[in-house]
A and B are shown apart, each in its own frame.
Chain A
């Protein structure tokens, strides 16, 4: 496989992970929690690096994953215990953790091979430069990492689908049936932390939020079934990755930036399509009513 194929594969894997988690985030009305986690991983990455001096996959995943979970825990605790509004507690948590990360990196920047730009914006074009030797075949580190994450998420979602659905739609009934909404909330948050951490090197921590939100939001506008919404979100995510790559190449710009712009365009297109559909349904209904009147 050549560089382009690896880049497209990485982008698609990131997009699918994001679309799966994002579907439930959008339905919970909590996409900003995804945003918060994606920013909060910065201190996690910095601390993990400072403690171990390594940029290995496992260290980063553990460090940032832990801070991601800490962020969602802080948000929930502040909201529930201290009665701070949900959006305010999100705002406080992620800016605070993010600032902590910025501070850590700036203080220790002289001896750190890590900068904010690389964490926040990522660079998917470098994916083919960082290869791992997998049984004689060279595979990019990012592809290995995203495949592992996608595997974990797929297993979690396939086995806990009905629990995730019910705790998202009706947490009160879920609790009444003995399915703990908070447990499944943290399961979802863990998946999101994992995805963000794994994806930050390739698409950056900020643009990953676009992939969490826009493809599922576009899918939500076009279908009324959760299964179809999830599948459509994955397809839209892959379109973002592929179209974004070619557009970036064409205009010689940032690949991650182009992917997020495509994501925005998808939502706009979905909005137009759903409007046209609604009008057509209304027209058919009107015509039906007219015919009924004529028949009478």
Chain B
């Protein structure tokens, strides 16, 4: 469970939208079999980092490698969960249909899903607790259920590394703990999960590794070593309400370290 050998290398990554850089020289390695959080203020480039790791955005310079290889040669070992808002939930599809889409990458061109794929999709639906909703149309789900559908679809990709864009956005407390327990199970079975997250408390409590971002890389390392007042100040700047939150967080953290 301790983060050891790196499985993702981000090397001098710079990404620009309309010639305006949104990520500058991000350079870090991420360990395998860990829960990794990407945190930072709004507009820090968290989603941009995830998307460029997934090859969805043109990269101005630098590269990303998984196990020392570019994405295209290990594509099937890398799973992706886009933001919930990125799709039209009025699409005529059931929960099962959407989860089955996770299998499409491994199927290859022109092949139809087989019984094994259907069973795997159903298994993934069960593991996020949506078995009673398998045939429900996706527009008739709550926000939290939709996130769980996306999580189940990511599971169906059966990858070794998962990149997840805000899986906790817009979910209730119950769903949050369901998702967290699924993520922890995945980590126990040796998967690496990279998550864009907003909630610093949750990150401090549950994540092994933290990437702190504000266009530049502020810090990347084991959560306890990254979540320092100085780093958070550097990432979040002088935003007062956040700073108080951050100070509390650091105090809590120090207390827990003293206790431990």
Residues of chain A having any CB pair with chain B under 8 Å: 27, 29, 83, 159-163, 165-166, 168-170, 172-179, 220, 223-226, 228-229
Contact = CB atoms under 8 A, between A and B. Distances in A.
Contact of B104 (A175, A179, A224): A179
A168 B104 CA distance: 14
Interface in B80-122: 80, 82, 86-88, 91-94, 97-98, 101, 104-105, 107, 109-110, 112-113
A6 to B, nearest CB: 34
Nearest to A158: B110
Interface string B113-136: 100000000000000000000000
Contact of A170 (B78, B94, B101): B101
Contacts of B137: 224
A179 B105 contact: yes
B97 A170 contact: no
B92 A177 contact: no
Contacts of B107: 162
Given A179-B105, A226-B97, 7 more contacts: A172-B80, A174-B104, A176-B75, A177-B75, A177-B105, A225-B97, A228-B92
Residue from A83, A165, A228 having most chain B Cβ neighbours under 10 A: A165
25 contacts: A27-B88, A83-B18, A160-B109, A160-B110, A162-B112, A165-B101, A169-B98, A169-B101, A172-B54, A172-B56, A172-B86, A173-B80, A175-B55, A175-B56, A176-B55, A176-B75, A178-B72, A179-B105, A224-B94, A224-B137, A225-B97, A226-B92, A226-B97, A228-B92, A229-B92
B220 interface: no
Nearest to A162: B104
A178 B92 contact: no
A166 B82 contact: no
Interface string B1-29: 00000000000000000100000000000
Given A162-B104, A226-B97, A169 B88 contact: yes
Q: Is the interface of A mostly helix, strand, loop or mixed?
A: helix
A164 B51 CA distance: 22
B55 A170 contact: no
Nearest to A228: B92
A174 B78 CA distance: 13
Nearest to A223: B92
A165 B94 CA distance: 13
B147 interface: no
Contact of B80 (A160, A176, A226): A176
A104 B183 CA distance: 63
A26 to B, nearest CB: 10
B214 interface: no
A82 to B, nearest CB: 11
Contacts of B94: 224-225
Given A170-B82, A175-B55, A225 B101 contact: no
B18 A170 contact: no
B223 interface: no
Nearest to B101: A166
Nearest to A229: B92
B210 interface: no
A173 B104 CA distance: 10
B104 A170 contact: no
B157 interface: yes
A178 B77 CA distance: 12
Interface string B48-76: 00010011100000000000000010010
Contacts of B105: 176-179
Contacts of A29: 88
Residue from A168, A172, A226 having most chain B Cβ neighbours under 10 A: A172
B142 to A, nearest CB: 15
In order of increasing CB-CB distance, the 9 nearest A-B pairs are A177-B105, A176-B80, A224-B137, A172-B82, A159-B110, A170-B87, A226-B92, A176-B54, A178-B75
Contacts of A165: 93, 101
B196 to A, nearest CB: 14
Contacts of B112: 161-162
A173 B92 contact: no
Contact of B92 (A160, A162, A170, A225): A225
